[in-house]
Structure 1
């Protein structure tokens, strides 16, 4: 299948990984973490000849130069203004025509829910806020400083661009049928690749008494062909690079919106 990024059309291989401690607390509300990578679907187990296909990243790092506000209400006003200016300048791409999910976005929440039906299955994807180092930062349009500071800003911008590809979103994919069990995948979607961090078979258990079900091997310990098949399984249900790249952009905008909303709540609370 062809994987299409937000800025380039290319056939992409995708990476699959599992952290060694991912099993602990892998419930529906937990957030996956990136782990060891193995290549899939053509090279599910990472080997000497397995190299990921890297697509061009369009995400740009944002570096704030400082607000200079001397009081809390003033500092909040500056922060809200800069975030709103960034949001206004960040053109949100329309939902792609082939995007298979319904988007459920509740105001004030830190996640977005994706839902779809596939044959006799129900697919639910919980998408977290983007993992951006230092949280949301927005450009300060006020030009200050001399040539030396401008040079430092250029170096920082270059560093931001180089690290932009590390931005990611976390996904929890739940595939269920009318009868038990369910499959739960925890994934991390980068701009150039998607990793599977863990996979569990979840069955209903008797609540009376403590149970210790066998959870299966680590994902990387599965046979290579099984790993390939499971990644293809997710791909057929809509977990593709084009879909996750769109959701990355969507979640960047949502993070800015929720940041502004949170700052306004704080301003309303502390104002005299």
Structure 2
């Protein structure tokens, strides 16, 4: 009886060590595969359901991407929610709420905000567009702009990174 308990306990410890090593190896691999041209710094809090990516683009706009944990719905492709916020030096802010798969990104909602909300330092939400209701030319313009901020290779990396986070932490 005591021997069986010791064996179960030992196997549990071994499984735990193997699982821990797999999780850290996966994170190490992901960090090694960050493309040299990756334009963002990664802020990943293991307790959070999202990862923050921040940087500046060639137009000196501040870009923040919040990537949320993947949606794992049966019979649907795995996707992640992204909120891409681009802020100009003037404070004007363009926010894209998107759904991304490994090889594509779909804009769901676009918001345009400007400084001057009720409280100092807050943003006032001026315009809020549902992509389904947009004129095709406007929709095309937003997609083209978003592609200059978050390239296809970046979307692919974000997707891999979030899948790795899911595997490591949950």
Tell whether the structures are fold-level matches, with TM greater than 0.5. yes
For residue 117 of structure 1, report the CA deviation from its aligned partner: 0.9
Alignment of 1:172-251 (within 5 A): 172-203=83-114, 204-207=116-119, 215-237=127-149, 239-251=150-162
Distance 2:66 2:129 in 1: 24
Which structure 2 residue ranges, 5 or more long, are not aligned?
1-8
CA offset digits 1:165-219 (Å, max 9, x no partner)? 7011111011112323311110111123211010011234225xxxx97635432
Q: 1:122 aligns with which of 58, 62, 66?
A: 62
CA RMSD after TM alignment: 3.1
Alignment of 1:1-272 (within 5 A): 83-84=19-20, 87=23, 92=30, 94-118=33-57, 119-133=59-73, 163=75, 166-203=77-114, 204-207=116-119, 215-237=127-149, 239-259=150-170
Q: Alpha carbons of 1:112 and 1:217: their partners in 2 closer, same or farther (altered >3 Å)?
A: closer
Which structure 1 residue ranges, 5 or more long, are not aligned?
1-72, 134-159, 260-272
Where in structure 1 do 4 or more consecutive aligned residues deviate above 6 Å?
Answer: 76-79
Secondary structure at the aligned position of 2:81 is classed as strand
CA offset digits 1:8-50 (Å, max 9, x no partner)? xxxxxxxxxxxxxxxxxxxxxxxxxxxxxxxxxxxxxxxxxxx
TM-score of the superposition, structure 2-length normalised?
Answer: 0.72
Distance 1:231 1:216 in 2: 16
For residue 241 of structure 1, report the CA deviation from its aligned partner: 2.4
Secondary structure at the aligned position of 2:67 is classed as strand
Q: How many residues are treated as equivalent by the alignment?
A: 152
Tell me which protein shows more strand as a share of its residues.
2
Distance 1:213 1:99 in 2: 30
Secondary structure at the aligned position of 2:107 is classed as strand
Q: Alpha carbons of 1:78 and 1:132: their partners in 2 closer, same or farther (altered >3 Å)?
A: farther
Q: Alpha carbons of 1:121 and 1:104: their partners in 2 closer, same or farther (altered >3 Å)?
A: same
Secondary structure at the aligned position of 2:117 is classed as coil
Secondary structure at the aligned position of 1:114 is classed as strand
TM-score of the superposition, structure 1-length normalised?
Answer: 0.48
Distance 1:189 1:112 in 2: 14
Q: Would the aligned equivalents of 1:83 and 1:256 in 2 still touch at CA under 8 Å?
A: no
